[in-house]
Structure 1
Amino acid sequence: MPYKEKEIEKKYFTIGEVADELGVATSLIRFWEGEFDIIKPKKNRKGNRQFTKEDIKNVKLIYYLVKEKGFTLQGARDFIKNDVDAATNKVELIESLKKVRTFLETLKKELH
């Protein structure tokens, strides 16, 4: 059996990568970091933020509440405080459904 290289999984992401993934400015993520306790990226020696997958999940949760659902910052904070796990699960479900939809749309185009 040929040797198969183990895929290297990235552990930390820059604020630019997170911003690009969400289509927002890095300044918005820095602002949210000050407004929400659940965003706590580590900082390296240079002071650059290093986001984990968990951090990104939390940023996506805030993005969903504020940008997609129209919550105020205080409303989003209250929603997260009441049940962060339920809110996170809902966002993960929506992300998963969006991927399925994209896949189905691509499949439909290929069939026509």
Structure 2
Amino acid sequence: MKRSTPDSPQIPDKVYFRIGEVSHLVGVDTHVLRYWESEFSLIKPFRGKSKQRLYRRQDVENLLRIKGLLHDEGYTISGAKKYLKNLNRDSQSELEKKAYQASLPKDDSILLQIKHELREILTRLSGAD
């Protein structure tokens, strides 16, 4: 099965892609991919026993995003790095927020218990005068 978006090529349903395949999918030369790998920390191809770069699907998707930022949207390398860093931070914050919300009690019983304990403390403090 192949997945694609209207603006990106179809990515074959494989675990790993060789640099030549990625070059064809992304539409840039292999030396550009190697350069982007040195500039963008989110691109980390696996190296097999043969020492060839083997890119995962996520790497290919990230490379397509980088190409879009640089070629289509006119970002510089440093601008694209900042954009991706902020995008990653925002998505990480959203994940942390969802995890925090999931950890909260599903009912109001804990809030009622805290309210009751606070009233007890207030009563004791007001009676201490």
Classify the TM-score, shorter chain: 0.5 to 0.7
In percent, how many aligned pairs have the same letter? 37
Decide whether the 8 Å contact of 2:26 with 2:63 is kept in 1: no
Partner of 2:38: 34
Decide whether the 8 Å contact of 2:16 with 2:57 is kept in 1: yes
Partner of 2:66: 62
Decide whether the 8 Å contact of 2:14 with 2:57 is kept in 1: no
1:1-112 matches, within 5 Å, as: 9-84=13-88
Moved more, 76-85 or 10-19: 76-85
**Cα 1:69/1:23, change in 2 over 3 Å:** same
Structure of greater Rg: 2
Aligned-residue offset at 1:84? 3.3
Normalised TM-score (structure 2): 0.57
Separation in 2, partners of 1:75, 1:23: 21
Q: Matched residue pairs, number?
A: 79
Secondary structure of the equivalent of 1:64? Answer: helix
Separation in 2, partners of 1:38, 1:18: 15
Normalised TM-score (structure 1): 0.66
Structure 2 unmatched runs, 5+: 1-12, 92-129
Higher relative CO (Cα under 8 Å, sequence separation at least 6) belongs to 1
